[in-house]
């Protein structure tokens, strides 16, 4: 592929992603169709399917972008903080924005109930989890992959619980979810409780960072 052709294809891919991102964030994952993306972007369905196998793969590419952007922002703001603080920040962004934004909640539910999309999330969280995992005492049978899977399972339960008919204390559930994740990563109870307090004291920061990630397409358009 020539350089000119590669640049052209990259532009088409970005246009598809930005259009899909706009639609997903305004009307949700389930409602958005490939046909709508075609109509909004002006790009043919053939071109879209030439780049993305289906809507799920397209969404996976966006999730990967969001998580990469989120981690970069957390790493920048918390550059002088240890890995566990940065991991808490990244997870707190997900937990708080899920409660505050119904559309994001639906998107979160979509990828937390899809094995394919969950793999994307797990891969992106693995690097930071490895930093936290390293140097801590774990039973010989302990595996990082299992700890991450259980942690994502806890987040999935939190996301799905918003659709329950029973009224729940989401602040308490959020604390329990974070405690479960931190303990899975090998942190002691006292340290886990300290980090949960740190999470709650910085709620506005996590929501601000999450908002910046959600405005990703606007920043891209202006760049």
CATH architecture of 1-52: Orthogonal Bundle (1.10)
The pLDDT value given to residue 138: 65
Domain ranges of the chain: 1-52, 54-222
pLDDT in 10s for each residue of the chain, 223 residues: 677 777 878 899 999 999 999 999 999 999 999 999 999 999 999 999 999 999 999 999 998 888 889 989 999 999 999 889 999 999 999 999 999 999 989 998 888 888 888 887 787 777 778 877 776 766 666 677 888 888 888 999 999 999 899 889 999 999 999 999 999 888 899 999 999 999 999 999 999 999 999 886 555 544 4
Cβ neighbours for 159, distance < 8 A, ≥ 6 positions apart = 98, 105, 108, 109, 112
Token readout for 121 is 């999330």
Closest CA to 161 of 110, 126, 109, 203: 109
Closest CA to 178 of 97, 88, 94, 113: 88
- Please state, as a whole number, how many other Cβ atoms lie within 10 Å of the Cβ of residue 9: 14
Q: What is the pLDDT of residues 22-35, one digit of tens each?
A: 999 999 999 999 99
The pLDDT value given to residue 171: 95
What's the sign of the alpha-carbon dihedral 60, 134, 69, 30? positive
d(CA 59, CA 29): 8
Q: What is the pLDDT of residues 206-220, one digit of tens each?
A: 999 999 998 865 555
The pLDDT value given to residue 112: 83
d(CA 50, CA 63): 19
Q: What is the dihedral of CA 159, 68, 26, 58, to 10 degrees?
A: -100
């Amino acid at each position: 592929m020539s350089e000119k052709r590669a640049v052209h294809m990259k532009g088409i891919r970005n246009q598809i992603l930005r259009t899909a991102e706009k639609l997903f964030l305004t009307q949700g994952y389930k409602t958005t169709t490939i046909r709508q993306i075609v109509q909004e972007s002006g790009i043919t369905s053939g071109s879209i399917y030439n780049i993305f196998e289906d809507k799920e793969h397209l969404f996976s590419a966006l999730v990967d972008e969001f998580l990469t952007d989120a981690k970069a922002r957390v790493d920048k703001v918390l550059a002088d903080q240890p890995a566990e603080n940065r991991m808490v920040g990244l997870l707190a962004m997900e937990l708080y924005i899920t409660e505050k934004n119904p559309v994001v909640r639906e998107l979160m539910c979509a990828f937390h109930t899809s094995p394919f999309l969950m793999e994307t999330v797990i891969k992106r969280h693995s690097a930071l989890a490895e930093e936290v995992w390293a140097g801590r005492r774990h039973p010989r049978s302990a595996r990082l992959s299992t700890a991450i899977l259980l942690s994502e399972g806890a987040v999935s339960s939190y996301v799905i619980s918003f659709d329950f008919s029973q009224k729940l204390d989401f602040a308490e559930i959020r604390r329990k979810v974070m405690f479960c994740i931190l303990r899975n990563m090998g942190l002691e109870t006292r340290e886990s409780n300290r980090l949960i307090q740190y999470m709650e004291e910085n709620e506005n920061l996590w929501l601000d960072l999450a908002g910046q990630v959600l405005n990703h397409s606007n920043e891209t358009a202006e760049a």
